[in-house]
Amino acid sequence: MSELVTIQKERFSVEEVITRVKSASKGIGAVVVFLGAARDFSKGEVITGLSFEHYPEMAEKKLKDIRSRALDNFNIIEMAIVHRTGPIDIGEDIVLIVAASAHRNDAFMACEWAITELKRTAPIWKRETTQKGEVWVSENP
């Protein structure tokens, strides 16, 4: 993985992304990871599949902005954000945020802020397949 912010259809390696983030500095003493995975139950419904769509240029720009703001506003050394699109099977990984800092609290705060901001502002939309049909989830724009 050459980029620290990616939107892709393919599965990603959590270990590879962590290694990339850690390579930024020998001063990193804490790495915090948020890993979002596809679950099989939501809002009282059994979920049999998920699909994510996005506005390509705008979504990538937004994720890069989130990373940049996290680096500016939190005492972190590096951050990576990876989000998958397209069909995703139950149990598969969807989104990964890796925040690295000298001390754990800074990385925890940055990571939590980044996933909250991503879900709030990124033009990435989730469609759940249930036993009743397909439903667009409106947690984000």
List, for residues 16-55, the tens digit of each pLDDT value.
Answer: 999 999 999 999 999 999 999 999 998 888 999 999 999 9
State which CATH number among 3.90.1170.40, 3.60.40.10, 3.50.50.60, 3.40.50.2300 fits the domain covering 5-137.
Answer: 3.90.1170.40
In a 3-state reduction of DSSP, which class is residue 43?
A: coil
Instruction: Find out whether 83 and 124 touch, Cβ atoms under 8 Å.
Output: yes
Say what the pTM is. 0.94
Roughly how many angstroms between the first and final C-alpha of the chain, as a whole number? 28
The domain locations on the chain are 5-137
Instruction: Find out whether 127 and 139 touch, Cβ atoms under 8 Å.
Output: no
Which band of pLDDT confidence, cut at 50, 70 and 90, is reported for residue 65? very high
Please, what is the average pLDDT of the chain? 94
Burial 83-97 (b: 16+ CB within 10 A, else e): bbbeebeeeebbbbb
